[in-house]
Amino acid sequence: MMPIWTKSGKKHAVTLLKVQDCHVLRYISKEESGGKTSKLLVGGKNASPFFKSESTMELFKEAGVPRKQKVTTFNVTDDAIIKPGTPLYAAHFRPGQVVDVTAKTIGKGFQGVMKRWGFKGQPASHGQTKTHRRPGAISTNKAAKVYRGKKMPGRMGNIYRTCYGLKVWRINTKHDIIYVNGSVPGHTNCLVKVKDSKLPSYKDCNKNPPFPTFFADGDEKLPEDLYDDEIFQFANPSVTYA
Amino acid sequence: CRISSDEKPAKFQPPPKPVIIDKQKQREERRFLSPEFIPPRERTDPLKFYMERKDMIQRRKVFNIPEFYVGSILAVTIANPYANEKTSRFVGICIQRGGKGLGATFVLRNVIEDQGVEIRYELYSPRIQAIEVLKLEKRLDDDLMYLRDALPEYSTFDVNMKPVSRLDHEEIPINTLQVRMKPKPWSKRWERPKYNIKGIKFELPEEKMKEAQKWNKPWLEFDMLRKYDTSKIEEEIWKEVSEELKK
């Protein structure tokens, strides 16, 4: 995480996400998947081909791509289908776009009710006998049972969670890095899924994105750094107020 | 072999080697790498520190951030939308330098009209218009937070102070000032060995000083897992930064 300043002098915190060897693995049509739209399987970081069975490796052999550590699905419309085997780059996103980021949260292990669900617990003194961090009552008398889904101690973390509506401030095309506003679920160097935002207030934010994706061997030659309009770029002199 | 007057064989002592002092080399050897360039020992990708360093070097090319240490007196002007001339200037002694990378900060302390004022500035913030070093010197400690509990005369500095001139090749003077404190209670127990402060003249009785030594942890200095040797990293980063800044 890094600080970033706007032209008015305000500071925002920013997370750096690296796009490391992403390839499209397979196209699944609408009828095949049984959903409303067709799907594209995308693979992430490269990993070793050993330690895995042959059947799982078939997917990567078809696409002609080294084995990936993580495979995710994206629901795509028919005009945005990409041929399996094409690499995906950070320039697929542009500064000013709004993005949702999904990842597995940091695993906290078996945790008590105060940390896991934010219960208040009991006072530290004034006669409490061996009861300081316990849940207290778990149901009423009339119910005569404990409802399903009752908040109790258990394993916390290591589940997929999404942060919605994160603005993209800057993109580095040379190292394939996306600078995303705010914090992102997951520990440092964990695998993360970045999608266009589903929030209705940011529907019109994505103006002229590279469609279906940014192709590196195409005619477009982008500069090494793409900045949002409001960012203060360090090559400019200091900010002054008129 | 030679026998000395004690009738024992004398141990061979080699002649003393001539020591050549090259003054030009001494001048070049003094290099200062700002502490926020050295990355902390974490599991983050070194690429992240490289990107931060690129941004820091770009900012340094446009805006001059001078060399200063904890204990030097600085004057900082920042852009302030609510001030009369849209800029505000503050003079103070640097008591702490924190943070790594772009978020590096430093705290300046001064006593203005009998009120102690501390302001934390970000080194790479675009609102900073100028940083001038009025007096460049080091103190006996890396952290002068104890000035809050010292007598106010040690934290007062003239707002219209003139910069003290010094030659380039001179070594940075270390001010061995021992500060006198206000009567206890203090905000922190500065006499304890955890803070390892050398710049206070403790006027406490002997028993209090001995009692403070009970919290001494002499094994910490030999703990190998806590050691973070930054010499090699510093060398590489120094080469990178000096090459980029020369361009």
CATH number for the domain spanning A37: value is 3.30.160.810
Measured between CA atoms, the residue of chain A closest to residue B50 is A175
Nearest to A194 by CA among A20, A6, A13, A46: A20
The model's pLDDT over A107-162, given as tens digits with 9 standing for 90+, comes to: 999 999 999 999 999 999 998 889 999 999 999 999 999 999 999 999 999 999 99
A-chain CB neighbours of B63 within 8 Å are 237-238
Question: Tell me, what's the pLDDT at B4?
Answer: 54
* Interface contact A124, partner B, CB < 8 A: no
Which range marks the domain in which residue A62 is found? 20-88
The model's pLDDT over B225-244, given as tens digits with 9 standing for 90+, comes to: 999 999 999 999 999 999 99
A-chain CB neighbours of B101 within 8 Å are 2
A131 domain-assigned = no
**Mean pLDDT within A40-59:** 82
A41 domain-assigned = yes
- Structural class in CATH, domain B46-242: mainly beta
Nearest CB to A241 within list B51, B79, B103: B79
- Tell which phi-psi region holds residue B196, choosing left (phi > 0), alpha (psi between -120 and 50) or beta: left
* Interface contact B44, partner A, CB < 8 A: yes
Question: What interface predicted TM-score (ipTM) does this complex get?
Answer: 0.89
Task: Tell me how close the Cα of A45 comes to any Cα of chain B, in angstroms.
Answer: 14
Contact assignment for B62 to A237 by CB distance below 8 Å? yes
- Half-sphere exposure at residue A194, Cβ-oriented, CA atoms within 13 angstroms: 29
A120 domain-assigned = no
Question: Tell me, what's the pLDDT at A115?
Answer: 94
Nearest CB to A239 within list B43, B47, B79: B79
Contact assignment for A3 to B55 by CB distance below 8 Å? no
Is the pLDDT reported for residue B29 higher than 70? no
Contact assignment for A188 to B58 by CB distance below 8 Å? no
Nearest to A206 by CA among B90, B48, A198, A130: A198
Contact assignment for A240 to B52 by CB distance below 8 Å? no
Contact assignment for B102 to A232 by CB distance below 8 Å? no
A32 domain-assigned = yes
Q: How many domains does chain A have?
A: 1
DSSP class per residue in chain B: --B-TTSSBPPP-PPPPPPP--HHHHHHH-----GGGSPPSSSS-HHHHHHHHHHHHHHHHHS------TT-EEEEEEE-TTSTTSEEEEEEEEEEEE--GGG-EEEEEEEETTEEEEEEEETT-TTEEEEEEEE--EESSS--GGGGGB-GGGT---TTPPPPP--SSSPPPEE---BPBPSSPPSS-TTSTTT---SB---S-HHHHHHHGGG--GGGGG-STT----HHHHHHHHHHHHHHHH-
For the beta carbon of residue A240, count every other beta carbon within 10 angstroms. Answer: 13
H-run or E-run covering A55: helix A54-63
A-chain CB neighbours of B51 within 8 Å are 2, 16, 172, 175, 177
Contact assignment for A241 to B102 by CB distance below 8 Å? no
The model's pLDDT over B32-72, given as tens digits with 9 standing for 90+, comes to: 899 999 999 999 999 999 999 999 999 999 998 999 999 99
